[in-house]
Amino acid sequence: MQQSRHDVWVGLFVMIGAAALLFLALKAGNLLNLSFAETYPVTARFDNIGGLKVNAAVKSAGVVVGRVESIRFDTKTFQASVRLDLEKQYVFPKDTAAKILTAGLLGEQYIGLEVGGDERNLAPDDVITQTQSAVVLENLISQFLFNKAAEAGSSSGSDEASK
């Protein structure tokens, strides 16, 4: 009888530990959102979203004010249409700008909102028109290499011309 009681407690402890590990893994992977605040949808269109994912944070002044609800490709404008769920407690002017930013050098991407000065506020289903696409690291590297190759080509050409 005593042995079975210990087995039940050990089993319960293992189940709680497994649930805690699952919770931490989902939270660390940004796959779990436990915010129960009311939200309103806003759309932003970007030429390039880089590695932005659904459920990514939407931040303003470093504070999480919402989440990315969905990402789809608009076949009419050939842009990525990103639907944001902003918490109702945060109200932004209509001329707010949205940028895709990266947390750290190679970190996770999120959307940063820069507040404008318009007196009218964003309403549900409004579109943020001022956007800045993601900076793609591969494009920066290739541009740097291209510029270095062009400098090397022009300096060797000027050396030969001076001889």
Tens digit of each residue's pLDDT (9 = 90 or more) over 111-149: 999 998 888 999 999 999 899 888 777 777 888 888 888
* SS3 call for 80: strand
Task: Give residue 108's Cα distance to chain centre.
Answer: 7
> Is-contact 71 100, C-beta < 8 A?
no
Give the residue among 122, 108, 126 at the shortest CA–CA distance from 49.
108
Q: Which residues contact 37 (CB under 8 A, 6 or more apart)?
A: 87, 88, 89
What does the mean pLDDT of the chain come to?
85
| pLDDT tens by residue, 18-55 | 999 988 887 776 666 666 778 899 999 999 998 899 98
Sorted by where each begins, the domain ranges of the chain are 1-32, 39-142
Burial pattern 114-138, b for ≥16 Cβ within 10 A else e, equals eeeeeeeebeeebebeebebbeeee
- DSSP symbols for 104-128: SSS--EEEEEE----SSB--TTEEE
CA distances from 11 to 2, 5, 14, 22 (A): 14, 10, 5, 16
| Alpha helices in 29-163, H assignment, sequence order | 137-162
> In degrees rounded to 5, what are phi and psi of residue 157?
-70, -35
When pLDDT is cut at 50, 70 and 90, the band that residue 156 belongs to is low
Longest dimension (CA), the chain: 100
